[in-house]
A and B are shown apart, each in its own frame.
Chain A
Amino acid sequence: MNKQVDIKKLSPKDFETDQEVRWCPGCGDYAILKGVQMTLANTGASPENTVFVSGIGCSSRFPYYISTYGFHTIHGRAPGFATGIKLANPDLDVWLVTGDGDGLSIGGNHMLHVLRRNVDIQIMLFNNEIYGLTKGQYSPTSQPGLITPSTPMGSVDAPLSPCVFALGAGARFVARGIDTSLKELPVTLARAKDHKGASFVEIFQNCIVYNDDVFGEFTQKKTAKDTQIHVKHGEKMIFGKDVIKGLWFNAEKFGLEVVVIGENGITEDDILVHDETNRHIAFMLCELEAPDYPVVCGVIYCNPAESYDKAVQDQVAQAKRDKKADFNALLRRGRTWTVE
């Protein structure tokens, strides 16, 4: 009989490294780090089979602080590395950490392709709407008019919505979280980890030095209940301090509206039920912005399909079944002749 061995359950602390964390005091990255360590502990992640890959940026320092395998690569290119790692060893659980500049500016093309290919990895995009590491230039998610060292008269760039981009690229898992919402974030990240295929999670991250409080409008704890909605599949999208506001689909205008239960004849039945497999609604949810709408968090879209790495592995396995790997025979395939 086998002896029963107690597998020690790892705690969030077990996922810390001995490296001094070098983010600015008060940076949102600290909370996210904690949230990820909680997620790994909660989900029973195996440190030796987990790899964190990142690009360059404040956010991309992340792998140094997680006691799994890690690869801090080059600016914008983490998706290529992550794809190679996952293809090389599909048993590894691969996480990608990127920023709004790293993932959507220099690495925007790679982000598009890793999502459409549906490589089975988790992507966490720390969106602080600024280039932190290079001292505060505007980024592709910065709001128009933002004054930065490279936009002294205000930015004239039109910004990008990361989640809309991800959906457009064909992502099959799109979610959102907030750095300091440590009740919800680990739940969302656990779903991302569970999902087979590319999971995209945008995390609103406060850069206290170069873009402080840019998400304040909807992240203030006091007003959060009215400015955020945490969606759950199969549940009505009701929110607000008094739990009477909800999202209603206006078929005439083909869009979502905020309604109040009990007003203008609206009843609970009118409130939309969150269907995370509905891509059209997912687009609409991602586009809702403060202050007119609640900012949608949680798993917005999840509709799995076979992952790229799985399809690649299947072809290799089939070729190995169908053909013999005989190197000498390979060289002798085709026309040969013998010299006596």
Chain B
Amino acid sequence: MSVQSTQHVNDDVTKLESVVIRFAGDSGDGMQLTGSQFSVATALEGSDLSTFPDFPAEIRAPVGTTFGVSAFQINFGSVEVSTAGDEPDVLIVMNPAALKVNLNNLRKGGMIILDEGAFNAKNLKKAGYEVSPLEDESLAQYNLIRIDITRMTVETVKKFGLGNKDSLRCKNMWTLGLVLWMFGRKRQPIIDSLAQKFAKKPDVANANIAALNAGHAFGETAEMSSNLHRYQINKYEEEAGIYRTVNGNQSLCWGILAGSQLADLEILLGSYPITPASPLLHMLSDMKEFGVITFQAEDEIAAICSAIGASFAGKLGMTTSSGPGIALKTEAIGLAISTELPLIIVDIQRAGPSTGLPTKTEQSDLYQAVWGRNGDAPIVVISVSTSTDGFEVGIEAVRLATKYMTPVMILSDGYIANASEPWKIPDINDYDAFPVKFHQDPEGFHPSKRDPETLARVWAKPGTPELMHRIGGIEKDYDSGHISYDADNHQKMTDVRRAKIDNIAQDIPLQEVSQGTEGGKLAIVGWGSTYGSIHQAVKKARKDGLDVSHIHIRHIWPLPRNLEALLNSYDRVIVAEMNVGQLNTLLRSQYLLDSVLLSKVSGQPFKIAEIHEAIVENTGDLK
């Protein structure tokens, strides 16, 4: 909502290219629901968008405290949007704690819409305010709009006879109604979904709908008397097609299911709940019509073991977790490598080490994924870059796991797992199938027999006549599959396991430059969820005439075969990542590359401005 992009359509409607809104309140205020409903209304209006739910680890922290603040940020516009935005233009706060936590991020001069009714002595004290921010000068530099949302909501819903608690719960819908009015989004889809959600409690449904309508009506009538305005954001020009919003966990889940369909296999997921990976377990548990079996095991170890057992028996074994759980799976991953069975391992990374910050994002499991096992134990590692990218990554993971009989680890993270974007829904019929053929022929069979080209071991599943065999984690003889303690054989088997994975570099796409030129002064290299901020920062810098390109790596291991030459074609390479330099170490070790690290580990994604600043700093001295 910067000045450059505004243009007055008429007296009371201001046209904007894009805007960032942040809804913030207590965990019990329903901010996630409000934000996601607003996203739906916005998507249906044809804006490009990106969201960022930012919630505390505690399910219900004490009411009114700063650590119980939950927020939802959305960036939407008529222009390409690829992050949830550096700083909100509009901050909506439902209580003093939400103001305290979120104010320093608000754009200077930005708008605050605040529920005055919640700014009482008790709440101010809980938030740690000695003097009410409404009474000193601390908010002077913002466009402050004070509304007693609490009182107006309670009055609106009085006629439905709800208790005090349920009445207050409608505050978020009142607020949403007002914001919908401000940004010209339709109410009907939200009314429909409220009616559906509370179908069994018609009073609650009606009260929420009434609150939504009342907030909207407030905007219409108060417009003259207050500094409330309406804003217009035109449609974003998108390719024709059917669209929906999708978050990173959804797209990944569907991608892996798509992969299983293309491989003609059914999935068995062994999993144990952990934030932020649990939604994958929930989603797949509701896909039984596709033959998906989900097993909520007693721990992460049993979970991965069941998946490996299922792969041995001829299913697509899969396991999902986050860093701490992946650590527990480590020994079993080694067995899957040693027995050369296909396996999909999903790591939705979160801030570590140990429990770390369970609901905050980080990309610090790269070492664990690539190197974190005993023995020489290579696997395939692929990363997810955006909320929609999971679909392609999921398919690719299944293709590689089944073609090369190997575990594949997919790295996503808490940020894209929860963030939504519009997605042009693909058609599965547009993808090439890669059906698995199980080995049937007893002639010359042994369990270590491999395809001379892919080096993949045969997949012969129990139940097949005349192929009875035994596998395990003890080293196997190259020529018979029997256990072998022979020294030369161990060398040979270690080499072939490595060669098999290295070879995959020939079967994955060449690394492309996602923005900019091949060769030049500066390249910013990223992987995973930093895509959006790097993309926008590079776009801005290039517009300003800076010679910078963006390279975003999907295939972490093996690396694309042209990557070394590509990186060497720039005078300088910055590796930007949300850890203290894990991809950077990998690239330096592989290519003796003298790269520069841009690191951030605050539990929050990179801001566009942070990357942009690094670009400016690093292009200045380059002739």
Residues of A within 8 A of B (CB): 17, 19, 47-49, 51-53, 63-64, 67-74, 77, 79-85, 87-89, 91-92, 109-110, 112-113, 312, 315-316, 318-320, 322-325, 327-328, 330-332, 334-340
Query: Would you call B368 an interface residue if the criterion is a C-beta within 8 Å of the partner chain's C-beta atoms?
Result: no
| Shortest 9 CB-CB contacts between residues of A and residues of B | A84-B309, A80-B305, A72-B472, A84-B306, A319-B288, A70-B470, A81-B309, A88-B313, A80-B302
Of the listed stretches B40-48, B148-156, B350-358, B404-412, chain A binds B40-48
Contact partner of B482 among A19, A74, A80, CB < 8 A? A19
In the bound complex, how far is the Cα of B3 from the Cα of A275, in angstroms?
86
Residues of chain A lying within 8 A (CB to CB) of residue B238: 339
Q: Are B468 and A83 in contact (CB under 8 A)?
A: no
Q: Are B471 and A72 in contact (CB under 8 A)?
A: yes
Which of A63, A89, A109 has most B Cβ within 10 Å? A89
Which of A80, A85, A319 has most B Cβ within 10 Å? A80
Q: Are B268 and A88 in contact (CB under 8 A)?
A: yes
Residues of chain B lying within 8 A (CB to CB) of residue A64: 470, 472, 483
Query: Would you call B101 an interface residue if the criterion is a C-beta within 8 Å of the partner chain's C-beta atoms?
Result: no
Query: Would you call B13 an interface residue if the criterion is a C-beta within 8 Å of the partner chain's C-beta atoms?
Result: no
Chain B residue nearest to A18 (CB atoms) is B482
Chain B contacts with A in 258-286, Cβ cutoff 8 A: 258, 261, 268, 270
Query: Would you call B588 an interface residue if the criterion is a C-beta within 8 Å of the partner chain's C-beta atoms?
Result: no
Q: Are A74 and B473 in contact (CB under 8 A)?
A: yes
In the bound complex, how far is the Cα of B311 from the Cα of A89, in angstroms?
11
In the bound complex, how far is the Cα of B302 from the Cα of A110, in angstroms?
7
Chain B binding site: helix, strand, loop or mixed by DSSP?
Answer: mixed
Please report the number of residue pairs spanning A and B whose Cβ atoms sit closer than 8 angstroms.
198
Contact partner of A69 among B244, B288, B468, CB < 8 A? B468
Sample 18 A-B pairs with CB under 8 A, ordered by A number. A48-B466, A72-B472, A74-B332, A81-B305, A84-B310, A84-B317, A85-B310, A87-B306, A92-B463, A312-B295, A319-B288, A323-B288, A325-B291, A328-B428, A331-B425, A332-B425, A335-B40, A339-B243
Query: Would you call B63 an interface residue if the criterion is a C-beta within 8 Å of the partner chain's C-beta atoms?
Result: no
Query: Would you call B240 an interface residue if the criterion is a C-beta within 8 Å of the partner chain's C-beta atoms?
Result: yes
Q: A89-B463, A337-B243, A340-B240 are in contact. List 9 more A-B contacts (CB 8 A).
A: A63-B470, A81-B312, A84-B312, A88-B314, A92-B313, A327-B261, A331-B425, A334-B244, A339-B241
Q: Are A337 and B302 in contact (CB under 8 A)?
A: no
Q: Are A336 and B244 in contact (CB under 8 A)?
A: yes
Contact partner of B335 among A73, A337, A340, CB < 8 A? A73
Query: Would you call B161 an interface residue if the criterion is a C-beta within 8 Å of the partner chain's C-beta atoms?
Result: no
Q: Are B254 and A49 in contact (CB under 8 A)?
A: no
Residues of chain A lying within 8 A (CB to CB) of residue B302: 77, 79-80, 83, 109-110, 113
Which of B257, B298, B471 has most A Cβ within 10 Å? B298
Q: Are B239 and A88 in contact (CB under 8 A)?
A: no
Contact partner of A338 among B243, B293, B332, B468, CB < 8 A? B243
CB distance from A281 to the nearest CB of B (A): 29
| Known A-B contacts A71-B470, A77-B332, A335-B189; A84 and B270 likewise in contact (beta carbons under 8 Å) | yes
Query: Would you call B299 an interface residue if the criterion is a C-beta within 8 Å of the partner chain's C-beta atoms?
Result: yes
| Known A-B contacts A109-B298, A316-B288, A338-B241; A48 and B463 likewise in contact (beta carbons under 8 Å) | yes
Chain B contacts with A in 233-262, Cβ cutoff 8 A: 238-245, 254, 257-258, 261
Chain B residue nearest to A75 (CB atoms) is B331
In the bound complex, how far is the Cα of B292 from the Cα of A25, in angstroms?
47
Contact partner of B470 among A72, A89, A109, CB < 8 A? A72
CB distance from A296 to the nearest CB of B (A): 29
| Known A-B contacts A109-B298, A110-B302; A322 and B428 likewise in contact (beta carbons under 8 Å) | no
Q: Are B425 and A336 in contact (CB under 8 A)?
A: yes
Chain A residue nearest to B462 (CB atoms) is A69
Chain A residue nearest to B235 (CB atoms) is A339
In the bound complex, how far is the Cα of B363 from the Cα of A320, in angstroms?
38
Chain A residue nearest to B291 (CB atoms) is A316
Query: Would you call B426 an interface residue if the criterion is a C-beta within 8 Å of the partner chain's C-beta atoms?
Result: yes
Residues of chain A lying within 8 A (CB to CB) of residue B462: 48-49, 51, 69, 85, 89, 92
Q: Are A81 and B306 in contact (CB under 8 A)?
A: yes
Query: Would you call B611 an interface residue if the criterion is a C-beta within 8 Å of the partner chain's C-beta atoms?
Result: no
Q: Are A49 and B297 in contact (CB under 8 A)?
A: no
Chain A residue nearest to B258 (CB atoms) is A327
Q: Are B295 and A89 in contact (CB under 8 A)?
A: no
Q: Are B301 and A80 in contact (CB under 8 A)?
A: yes
Task: Count residues of B near A (Cβ-Cβ below 8 Å).
Answer: 73
In the bound complex, how far is the Cα of B331 from the Cα of A80, in angstroms?
13
Q: Are A80 and B309 in contact (CB under 8 A)?
A: yes
| Known A-B contacts A88-B313, A88-B315; A109 and B244 likewise in contact (beta carbons under 8 Å) | no
In the bound complex, how far is the Cα of B482 from the Cα of A74, in angstroms?
17
Q: Are A47 and B241 in contact (CB under 8 A)?
A: no
Chain B contacts with A in 320-337, Cβ cutoff 8 A: 331-332, 334-335
Q: Are B290 and A80 in contact (CB under 8 A)?
A: no
Which of A70, A328, A337 has most B Cβ within 10 Å? A337
Residues of chain B lying within 8 A (CB to CB) of residue A332: 242, 244, 425
Contact partner of B44 among A71, A92, A113, A337, CB < 8 A? A337
Query: Would you call B105 an interface residue if the criterion is a C-beta within 8 Å of the partner chain's C-beta atoms?
Result: no
In the bound complex, how far is the Cα of B461 from the Cα of A85, in angstroms?
10
Chain A residue nearest to B303 (CB atoms) is A80
Q: Are B268 and A331 in contact (CB under 8 A)?
A: no
Chain A residue nearest to B43 (CB atoms) is A337
Residues of chain A lying within 8 A (CB to CB) of residue B257: 327, 330
Q: Are A339 and B425 in contact (CB under 8 A)?
A: no
| Known A-B contacts A80-B305, A89-B463; A71 and B471 likewise in contact (beta carbons under 8 Å) | yes
Residues of chain A lying within 8 A (CB to CB) of residue B209: none
Q: Are A91 and B309 in contact (CB under 8 A)?
A: no
| Known A-B contacts A79-B302, A327-B261, A336-B425; A87 and B295 likewise in contact (beta carbons under 8 Å) | yes
In the bound complex, how far is the Cα of B287 from the Cα of A324, in angstroms?
10
Q: Are B261 and A49 in contact (CB under 8 A)?
A: no
Query: Would you call B20 an interface residue if the criterion is a C-beta within 8 Å of the partner chain's C-beta atoms?
Result: no
Residues of chain A lying within 8 A (CB to CB) of residue B482: 19
Q: Are B313 and A85 in contact (CB under 8 A)?
A: yes
Chain B residue nearest to A308 (CB atoms) is B295
Contact partner of B299 among A70, A82, A109, A318, CB < 8 A? A109
Q: Are B290 and A335 in contact (CB under 8 A)?
A: no
Q: Are A336 and B242 in contact (CB under 8 A)?
A: yes
| Known A-B contacts A109-B299, A335-B189, A338-B243; A328 and B469 likewise in contact (beta carbons under 8 Å) | no
Chain A residue nearest to B193 (CB atoms) is A335
Residues of chain B lying within 8 A (CB to CB) of residue A92: 313, 462-463
Query: Would you call B464 an interface residue if the criterion is a C-beta within 8 Å of the partner chain's C-beta atoms?
Result: yes
Q: Are B288 and A70 in contact (CB under 8 A)?
A: no
Q: Are A82 and B309 in contact (CB under 8 A)?
A: yes
Q: Are A327 and B428 in contact (CB under 8 A)?
A: yes
In the bound complex, how far is the Cα of B291 from the Cα of A323, in angstroms?
11
Contact partner of B308 among A84, A319, A336, A340, CB < 8 A? A84
Query: Would you call B136 an interface residue if the criterion is a C-beta within 8 Å of the partner chain's C-beta atoms?
Result: no
Query: Would you call B465 an interface residue if the criterion is a C-beta within 8 Å of the partner chain's C-beta atoms?
Result: yes
CB distance from A105 to the nearest CB of B (A): 14
